[in-house]
Amino acid sequence: MKERKSVKPIPTISSKARRAVNCSTAIATLLLVLASGCAPASKEPNREAGGTAPQDGQHEQAKLVFYSNNGNSEESFDQSFGNALRKKFPNYTIEYIRAATGTQLQDLLASGTKFDIFFNTIGNFERYMIESGMEYDMRELIKKHNVPLSDLDPVYVEYMNGAAGGPIYGFPIQNNVMTLYYNKTLFQKFGVPFPQNGMTWDEAIELGKKLTRQEAGTSYVGLTVNPANTANQNQFSLPSVDPLTMKPTINTNPLWKPLFETLFVRPFENEIARAETIRLKKIPDHYTFVRDQTLAMYGYSSGLISALGEEMKQLDWDIAALPTFREKPGVGAQPYPFQMGITSFSANKDAAMTALKFLLSEEYQKEISEKGQMPVLKLETVKQAFGNKSTFSNKNYSALFYNKMASIAFKTPPYGAAIDRFHTTSALQLAQGQADINSLFRQAEEEATKEINALRQNAK
């Protein structure tokens, strides 16, 4: 198969941003989160990856440079990826460029600095890949290296197959799910039974009412959830932006209303819970749960365990599966994975795919699972290993896998990220009793529409 003689020039942010925004509007129905861009789904995959795959890890030498603009430190990169890759492939030189002053994405592109693998969280990954022109269809390399995508949890396979034959620019490596944290000390103090896997939100709210109280001058709140995570990973798989009209959905999709009423109105009908939200000027959050220890139950990302691990040692806590809606029995939140993809200008695409294949292997996924990092494979051996070697090895980790993950909603970078704050603001105003839900949704729709229009205008 004929090789390309040169790598296409690296475009500038501004030119590619214009192309991405205009094209995303024109063919929104064909965009995928993992298979998005300005080419129709029938576009032929990249052919420079043809031929027979070398034995994985048997390259004489290879240098692979990773980059992410999500703020990960070198230490974090090494702990999550770098050390495992160096151990598996001692003949590879693994480097990581951290986003900082002078090494932001636009700086690297402007200077012609190349890197082989880009990673970021879902939504952000697609946004930066496409806006900067780094996207590379990995289908041929996936086939060439026999990457076992079928081992992924079905929700990811569904997500990647959303447009038959469409390009694949990346796939998930690690995940975060939402779960229900609870303070065992408060439950024991007030004589309330612990939450269990399989609860509905109605049951969780009733449980929260038993814990919301004032005692010895301290106010305790029974139940809250994180607004941003709840909207982004909502259990109804609602997109923030309609893919056909590129308009916000908060006031047009009727399922947003029961979601917000259930999670941001009903738990705050108690005057104590509402007063605490007003006093704190926020919905009681992970800091309230971990540091103040006045929040009994909190729906949040599984990543809290590693983010505040040291502080959580001072708390007697456990988890239960995220409660579910009656309309969606057994369905939890959407996943929020880290995704990795090979860049169009990588000079070591085979070595890069070898590395990515390892990161999707049972060997690596079991290793991170043991450390308490969420895997992306459906294999029971991987799931059952979760937390076995973590600081907190005696927790109800089965809760993380109890629900079926909700289907991943359509992503519309950069618009979705731009209107996230309207979901958070609406949730807070509802919890504080500042306005009725219909008025808030109309206001959020108007302001979000202006934000989207401004972004589209600036991209022209």
Task: Please answer whether residues 176 and 380 qualify as being in contact, where contact means their C-beta atoms are separated by less than 8 angstroms.
Answer: no
What are the pLDDT digits (tens) for 289-319?
999 999 999 999 999 988 888 999 999 999 9
What are the pLDDT digits (tens) for 29-63?
334 434 333 333 333 445 444 445 555 655 579 99
Instruction: Give the pLDDT mean for 203-220.
Output: 98
Instruction: Give the pLDDT mean for 381-400.
Output: 94
Place of tokens 């009908």: 269
What are the pLDDT digits (tens) for 237-259?
999 999 889 999 999 999 999 99
Task: Please answer whether residues 339 and 321 qualify as being in contact, where contact means their C-beta atoms are separated by less than 8 angstroms.
Answer: no
Q: What is the spatial distance between Cα 431 and Cα 420, in angstroms, rounded to a whole number?
A: 17
Residues 6 or more apart in contact with residue 269 via CB below 8 angstroms: none
Residue 74 pLDDT:
95
Residue 53 pLDDT:
52
Query: Could you tell me the domains of the chain?
Result: 13-176+338-390 (3.40.190.10), 178-334+414-458 (3.40.190.10)
Which uninterrupted H or E stretch holds 257? helix 256-260
Identify which of 244, 249, 248, 247 has the alpha carbon closest to the alpha carbon of residue 28.
244
Per residue, what are the HEC states of 232-245? HCCCCCCCCECCCC
Residue 82 pLDDT:
98
Residue 83 has pLDDT above 60, yes or no: yes
Share of the chain above pLDDT 70, in %: 86
**Which stretches of 45-116 are DSSP H helices?**
74-77, 83-88, 105-111
Structure tokens at 359: 């990161």
DSSP 297: E
